[in-house]
């Protein structure tokens, strides 16, 4: 039997069974909620993946959210067309549809993200929510083409865009293959933008610029024709942040100063510190605020 014709309840049991015992124990409430969603779908006559794909756009919000999440997990190829329609026709679910489409990894989806991104970059009044969709779709897409990486870098460079969008683009840049090749204009542009970004007034631009610098300075960069001396221009500003900026980093439980300390260590050694910010601040549960203006 094809996977798309199998029962949702059966597939969910397999999904739970593949997790570790610790994960199952910690996710009991989450799994109970999802099983209730599957029971509600079954009561509607929706029992298989194919049936869920067919009715997904017409489901009530909580079942729709579950269905999109389930497709992020299971990645059925034949869900791509439905999710693409919802991406354009159902604005409240754009972001989650983008995540699911990226996980499925269809070439039609990446072409769609690029088309949307080009339209918004060319607009005098770009739609920030569409930019967020493009970043989400490219960030989680496996083996993104070079033009997708270029789009992330362009969004990161755009000082007219809000800091949270530029920060999200900076976060996504860390997975870009072109970031590893110091011979490229892509590398040089990313370094110029990150060097400027650590002096930006926006906390998200500043935080993710430190992250980008760490990725640029890692020893795993290919074709490494110059030493990390090229990054010493950033050290005075990073040391200032390490000494004075103790705000919690956006979305994280460690402070900006700890991220700066990690960036300094990577520049000086070429490697992330063994005891990095997340380790040093493990157990601290308060999170830094994230600004997500419309």
What pLDDT, in 10s, does the model give residues 193-211? 999 999 999 999 999 999 9
Q: What mean pLDDT comes out for the span 227-235?
A: 88
State residue 294's pLDDT score: 47
Assign 3 a pLDDT band (cuts: 50, 70, 90).
low
Contact 262, 213 (CB under 8 A): no
* pLDDT beyond 70 at 10: yes
Q: CA 207, 209, 212: angle at the middle one, nearest 5?
A: 120
Higher pLDDT, 218 or 94: 94
What pLDDT, in 10s, does the model give residues 81-124? 999 999 999 999 999 999 999 999 999 999 999 999 999 999 99
Q: What mean pLDDT comes out for the span 45-64?
A: 97
Give, in order, the Cα–Cα distances in Å from 285 to each of 141, 251, 257, 278: 30, 11, 17, 11
* pLDDT beyond 70 at 223: no
Tokens of 31: 């799994």
State residue 226's pLDDT score: 56
Residue-range domain boundaries for the chain: 172-294
Higher pLDDT, 228 or 279: 279
Tokens of 209: 């610029």
The percentage of the chain sitting over the pLDDT mark of 90, rounded to a whole number, equals: 85
Q: Phi-psi region for residue 169, left (φ > 0), alpha (ψ -120 to 50) or beta?
A: alpha
Q: What are phi and psi of 255, to 5 degrees?
A: -80, 165
Count of beta carbons in the 10 Å neighbourhood of residue 215: 21
* pLDDT beyond 70 at 2: no
């Amino acid at each position: 039997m094809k996977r798309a014709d199998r029962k949702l309840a059966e597939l969910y049991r397999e999904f739970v069974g593949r997790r570790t015992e610790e994960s199952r124990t910690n996710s009991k409430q989450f799994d109970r909620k999802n099983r209730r969603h599957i029971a509600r779908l079954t009561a509607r006559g929706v029992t298989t993946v194919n049936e869920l794909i067919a009715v997904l756009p017409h489901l009530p919000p909580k079942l729709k959210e579950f269905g999109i999440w389930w497709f992020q997990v299971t990645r059925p190829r034949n869900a791509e067309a439905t999710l693409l329609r919802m991406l354009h026709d159902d604005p409240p679910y754009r972001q989650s549809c983008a995540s699911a489409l990226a996980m499925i990894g269809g070439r039609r989806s990446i072409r769609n993200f690029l088309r949307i991104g080009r339209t918004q970059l060319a607009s005098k009044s770009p739609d920030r929510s569409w930019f967020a969709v493009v970043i989400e779709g490219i960030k989680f897409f496996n083996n993104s083409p070079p033009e997708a990486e270029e789009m992330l870098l362009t969004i990161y460079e755009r000082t007219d865009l809000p800091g949270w969008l530029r920060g999200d683009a900076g976060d996504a840049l860390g997975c870009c293959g072109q970031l590893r090749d110091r011979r490229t204009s892509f590398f040089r542009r990313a370094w110029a933008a990150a060097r400027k970004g650590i002096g930006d007034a926006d906390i998200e631009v500043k935080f993710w610029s430190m992250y980008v610098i760490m990725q640029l300075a890692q020893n795993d960069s290919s074709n490494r024709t110059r030493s990390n001396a090229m990054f010493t221009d950033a050290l005075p500003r990073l040391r200032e942040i390490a000494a004075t900026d103790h705000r919690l980093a956006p979305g994280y439980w460690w402070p900006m100063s700890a991220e700066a300390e990690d960036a300094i260590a990577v520049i000086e050694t070429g490697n992330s510190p063994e005891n990095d910010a997340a380790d040093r601040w493990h157990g601290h549960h308060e999170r830094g605020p994230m600004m997500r203006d419309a």
